[in-house]
Amino acid sequence: MDILQQCQKWNEKDEYQKIIDALEAIPAQERTPEMDSELARAYNNLADPYQPGGRDLLRKAIALLKPHEDYFQGDHCWNFRMGYAYYYLDQEGRALRYFEQALEARPGDEDTLELIDWCKKGIALPRFSACFRERTAAAWENFAEREGQLRQIMDEDETHTRGEKLIRACEAILNQAFDDISFELGFNGETYELILTPEGDKVKLFELVYFQKHAPKSVLEHWNILVGRQPLQSIGLRTEDGCEISGDDVQIWLEELDKNRFAISAYCEKLLPMLQASKGRVWWMLTTLTDQVLGEISHMRYIDRFDVLEQPKESPSIRMSQLPDKLREQGLKLSTDPEAYLETYLGYQMEPREDPDADWRLDVMAGSTCCAPLINGYLEADNDFMDRLHADGAVAGFFCYPLDSLREGEETQKIFAFRDRLEEALTAGDGPELLTLTGGATGLYCGYVDFIAWDLRAALQLAQEFFEDSAIPWASFHTFRREAGSVRLKAAQEDTSDGEVPRDEDGVPELYTEAEMEAVEGHIQRYFGTFENVYHELISPDIHVDICVVPPSEERDYYTLVTMGMGAHRMNVPEELAEYQLERAELAIALPKDWKLGHEDLEHERWYWPIRLLKTLARLPIASDTWLGFGHTIDNQEDFAEDTKLCAAILTAPQSAADGGEVCPLPGGEEVNFYQVIPLYRDELEYKLAHDADALLGKMDGICFVVEPNRPDALTRASLRSGDDADDCVAEMDDGAWHLESMQEKELPVDEIHAYNHMAIYLRWCMEHDLMGEEFLAEYGDVVEKVKTEPASVDLRVFLRDELDGQLVGPLFNQKGRAFASYYYGESDNPYFPSDIDDYAFHYFGAEQYHSEEFQDEAYLFIPFDEDYYQAMAAVMEKRFVNWQGQDFDEETLEPSELAKAMMAYLDCECTYFPAMKDDDPIMATYRYAQREGVKEGFVPVLLKADDETLWECLILNSDPDHDGADDYAFDPDKVAEYRQKMLAAPGKDGKAVLEALKNQRKEEAAEDDIDWNEEILGVMEGGYANDRFSSYWDCDSEMTYPLILAKIPVQHPWEIFAWLPFGNWNECPDTPELMAAAKYWFEQYGAVPAAMTHDELEFILPSPVPREKAMEAALELYGFCPDVVDQGPEDATVGTLADGLRQSTIWYFWWD
């Protein structure tokens, strides 16, 4: 079997990474075109364009395929793969050409025909995963975060050897906005410069100016953002062989073509040797030199043609360096302002066609434009400019509308007045954020207004609102692609006499207004959770339904998928229900945390069906002119997928949302109702139809709302609820089948019996602690007795598998056992038994092995199943059980205070609130789990006192001093973000030097106070005590914890949390740079991580105590950093006492008086 045959087998099994690994291992120069094509297919299949790195894979596929265009001419697969990559890069125009060639090679191919149809819709009404407006904001946000690094590279690159690294770093940022971008970086002696060059492309210039105008203030503090190369008379270019060319070395002949438009013929003797080998290279050098001499904007504005001569003309010439003066003599202004150039309009006239069915704009008599390339491209059916805009998420197009109702004889005043009103509506308010007007035209039948849209969706909505309020009978949108279809913005009435109804047009989907969209998006984030990913709909015939994916969290151990866009349509609700505002709705569905949502996974119905269900339900009210609400059921007529018998669904109140999540109020007073979609079995659906929704939901009491393809049937299996109190109930706790599935899918090299290891530990502990139910004891009492007396004689893993169907469920336990299971195993709240198992695996194997590819996130399956494992977990379970029995909460703190809410808003990250409690076990469990997750997810957990007014004042005073003392805990999020970015971008101080300076300061203070440094301060290393528990969050008066917040600070390194939490810079507490420097040094030396904080207390946690031989040195550093750890301690406390404590402790405690 050769490599291509093997790749085909891997492809059939969806094992794309194996294809990539195998083919990438072959040197590029040794791969055949067929190998490159297979590798490109694997990149395409593996790429998820909505996940980080996904678009890069698609670009790699194109880069691999393009060089083989001639080799694969006429080949279906090659063309299909090129089209596929461009299509998922949101570049339907480029994709369409390849798909059409693929269809020629394989006529009638259904996949190709479907993609061609999607491409045609995509070029008529482009939809982007991120439009240029959004891409601009994202690129500038990233630039602001990384510009400090760019400046540092430029400052340190004295030998000019790091230019390539600098360009790559900046290009990666700019590519977030631009598919292709030319730029230069420099320093003018005072300010850093980013120069964006249009390379003579006027359409690109519009993009660059828009992008330039959105540079944030934090960037402009250090950078000039310029568009177009600036005029520099003294500059020159150097060829590869070291020959330098300046404006004095080039002869030019200037020819006037039209008013203020010229042609240049250029001759350079120094470049004659290069001219024979590479005329294009010489042309580029001379035009670039013209940019430098004249300025790129003036070059574009006045020079229409540029020719390179092989020998000089006989007529008189001038030096290129004299060109600026020559043009000024012609009365021309050599401005570097790109906006002034773009605002220069050109009037034009055309011979109109009288055929009313001709393509749009062919009826034009006269018009004006500031972007002639778009008009010319449209008339010539040349889509290059459109493709480039489309690749960046921008669209050039025009609005068209009939003129019949605006004409009064020969008068045109109403025509121009209407166009003026339309243009005013488009440029008012946020209009310039959405689009830039480029001209307009008047035809025999229609009027036209031209523009480039930076956010097409919002721009069309803005225009649609204007046309709906006008007397114009119809209006349409069309891109500057002549062959594309049109989009209807306003439909003509069938009996109208004011112009013909446009034919063959698609309508604009019903959309939320921008304000409504912000409200709905904010509601989802607030009540369902922060979504990190959105499945954007590619084709939207009626409404645009995106799916927001809220990932699993500690609070909700499952995915939540929520529609966003269904509520733009008002459903046909019965009149008698009108007062309840049920016309608008969105839907949610919950999926297990191990549900596969990768790009390639969703090509299989086994994983995709919940998304299909949401989309089907979202469109049902439109297709059937009906409505959906609480208790409604929907029959799918067949099983959703092969691996489940679920075949219907019921809508209920949101199960996964916080209180208040049922209804989202919109700015205009309307409401959007949110419903949970719960899939049903056939008999459950029939039961509901025979009775009602409440009857079925009563039967389902105890059935989890999270989708489980093989969940218990509510009618055929006894309810899993037990006990008299709802708090005592627990449904399915665990199922070995879940773990076996992971083992098999990931091909883990462990025995299948390991799927039951942790379940057997839990079952054994419950047996030993008399938590089993009466029915269980009646049937398996002998097993329980053996476990209690001779545990080694019974393998509970086999017992679980063979006797209990591999499951742990509530009815196995007595009332206390069920209640404890509900607390510790029923939900993924903390503490949570499976998380404790994972925590044990993390510490057993260590962070590196735990997160390794070998374990594939399943480290717990590799723990040796022995008595040591059981005893370690039994100790944990005992602790959890004792805590559960003796726990108490301060009821007044069950809900976060206004300050706590403000603190969580200030933190701007995932937070967990804890009320005051008697036992801190849930707090420490959550912290430990977060420690483990943070290694992989990229955050650092920190515990904060929630109601600490002084801590709030410290944070605001450092990060947003303008709001110091503001009412209602107000602050400016932008200023806080700027402060954090500034702290993170600033060059870090040397931690050892900072601590050394603080130690010396303490020595000087001791000398000034006549204190014997060696005897009274240093002392001897004795008298210390072990400290392994946090102290700062305990209230000694109530003997409870204070209300706390666990914040998952989104930073890569522990010391960076002080950029988020700048609590210092008062009395002797160090400022933020010093806190960061010291924390970095201690992390590198001892693994110390800042973990808990109040306004005057700070605690670090360590993986192990400081070695004895380093304890004195560390203690002296701590004393320099915070002298009160000794000075405010016991009367006889010394640095030596502190050192003796450090060598025994995993917690460092600081307190500043």
Provide the 8-state DSSP code for 480.
S
Q: Which one, of 483, 475, 534, lies nearest residue 508 by Cα? A: 475
Mean of the pLDDT values across residues 300-318? 92
3-state secondary structure 842-885: HHHHCHHHHCCCCCCCCHHHHCCCCHHHHHHHHHHHHHHHHHHH
Give, in degrees to the nearest 5, the angle at Cα 385 between 383 and 391: 100
554-563 pLDDT, tens digit per residue, is 888 899 999 9
Name the β-bridge partners of 586. 674
Kindly state the DSSP code that residue 989 receives in the 8-state scheme.
P
Range of 705-709, 723-727, 1116-1120 with top mean pLDDT: 1116-1120
Place of tokens 């009320």: 915
Q: What mean pLDDT is reported for the chain?
A: 89
Type of residue found at 774: E
Helix (H, G, I), strand (E, B) or coil at 742: helix
Identity of residue 711: R
Beta-carbon contacts of 216 under 8 Å, excluding residues fewer than 6 positions away, are: 140, 141, 144
Name which of 195, 181, 177 is nearest 135 in CA terms: 177
Residues 6 or more apart in contact with residue 153 via CB below 8 angstroms: 162, 165, 166, 169
pLDDT computed for residue 96 by the predictor: 93
Highest mean pLDDT among 429-433, 528-532, 741-745, 808-812: 429-433
pLDDT of amino acid 87: 92
- Partner residues linked to 441 by β-bridges: 367, 448
**Quick one: pLDDT at residue 664?**
94
Dist. CA 246–CA 787, nearest whole Å: 92
Residue 285 CA to residue 244 CA, distance in Å, equals: 11
Residues whose CB is less than 8 angstroms from the CB of residue 1013 and which lie 6 or more positions away in sequence, other chains included: 1003, 1006, 1007
Q: Read off the tokens for 587.
A: 């839907």
Q: Is the pLDDT of residue 853 over 50?
A: yes
Average pLDDT over residues 901-913: 92
pLDDT at 1065: 85
| Residue with more model confidence, 359 or 823 | 359
Cα–Cα distance, 626 to 648 (Å, whole number): 18
Rounded Cα distance between 1057 and 1050, Å, is 8
What is the number of other CB atoms lying within 10 angstroms of the CB of residue 936?
A: 11
Q: Of the given ranges (706-720, 866-880, 884-898), which has the lowest mean pLDDT?
A: 706-720
State the residue for tokens 């062919």: 362
pTM here is 0.51
DSSP letters, 630-668, are: TT-EEE-SS-SSTT----EEEEES-SSSPTTTTEEE-TT
Q: Which of 183-192, 249-258, 491-500 has the lowest mean pLDDT?
A: 491-500
Question: Is the per-residue pLDDT at 768 higher than 90?
Answer: yes
Q: What pLDDT band is residue 541 in, cutting at 50, 70 and 90?
A: low
pLDDT digits (tens, 9 = 90+) for 602-624: 878 899 999 999 999 998 998 88
- The pLDDT of residue 844 is 92
Which stretch of DSSP H or E encloses residue 138? helix 132-156
- The string of DSSP codes covering 1044-1069 is EEEEEE--SSGGGHHHH-----BTTB
How do residues 771-801 score in pLDDT, each as one tens digit?
998 889 999 999 999 999 999 999 999 999 9
pLDDT at 277: 81
Contact 1043, 893 (CB under 8 A): yes
d(CA 77, CA 16): 17
What residue type is 361 in one-letter code?
R
- Classify strands 663-665 and 1040-1041 as parallel, antiparallel or unpaired: unpaired
Q: Do strands 364-369 and 346-349 pair parallel, antiparallel, or not at all (unpaired)?
A: antiparallel
Virtual torsion, Cα 317, 323, 327, 332, nearest 10 deg: 170
With a cut of 70, say whether residue 865 has pLDDT above it: yes
Q: Alpha-carbon distance 67 to 65, whole Å?
A: 6
Greater confidence (891 vs 391) lies with 391
Q: What share of the chain is helix, strand, coil (3-state, %, to 5)?
A: 50, 15, 35
Task: Say yes or no to pLDDT of 494 above 60.
Answer: no
Structure tokens, 966: 């503001």
Pairing of strands 633-635, 395-402: unpaired
H/E stretch holding 548 reads strand 546-550
Q: Which residues pair with 224 in a beta bridge?
A: 193
**Is the CB of residue 231 less than 8 Å from the CB of residue 295?**
yes
pLDDT category, 508, cuts 50, 70, 90?
low
Q: Give kind and range of the element (H or E) at residue 808.
A: strand 807-809
User: Rounded to an integer, what distance in angstroms lies between the CA atom of residue 1097 and that of residue 659?
Assistant: 34
CB 781 within 8 A of CB 717: no
Cis peptide before 831 (omega within 30 of 0): yes
Is 50 exceeded by the pLDDT of residue 728?
no
Highest mean pLDDT pick, 445-454, 457-466, 1119-1128: 445-454
Mean pLDDT of 27-52: 89
Distance between CA 941 and CA 1045 in Å, rounded? 10
Which residue in 302, 142, 289 sits closest to 216, CA to CA? 142
Q: What are the residue ranges of helices labelled H in 528-633?
A: 605-623
**Per-residue pLDDT, 894:** 82
Integer Cα distance of 532 and 554 in angstroms = 16
Band the pLDDT of 410: cuts 50, 70, 90.
Answer: low
Check if the beta carbon of residue 82 is closer than 8 Å to that of residue 98.
yes
Cβ atoms of 938 and 1050 within 8 Å: the answer is yes
The mean pLDDT of 516-531, rounded to a whole number, is 91
State the pLDDT at residue 34.
93
Residue-wise pLDDT tens digits, 1007-1058: 988 889 998 899 999 999 999 999 999 998 888 999 999 999 999 899 999 9
> Is a pLDDT exceeding 70 seen at residue 830?
no
Cα–Cα–Cα angle for 377, 383, 385, nearest 5°?
Answer: 75
List domains and CATH numbers for the chain.
3-124 (1.25.40.10), 132-227 (no CATH), 237-335 (no CATH), 347-507 (no CATH), 514-699 (no CATH), 726-876 (no CATH), 898-1151 (no CATH)
Banded pLDDT at 544 (limits 50, 70, 90): confident
Give the Cα separation of 83 and 81 in Å (integer): 5
pLDDT tens digits, one per residue of 204-243: 999 999 999 999 999 999 999 999 999 987 777 877 777 8
Question: Tokens 């994916």 — which residue?
Answer: 549
Whole-number pLDDT of residue 540: 59
CB-count exposure of residue 254 (10 Å: 0-12, 13-18, 19+): middle
**pLDDT band per the 50, 70, 90 thresholds, residue 718:** very low
Q: Provide φ and ψ at 543, rounded to 5°.
A: -130, 160
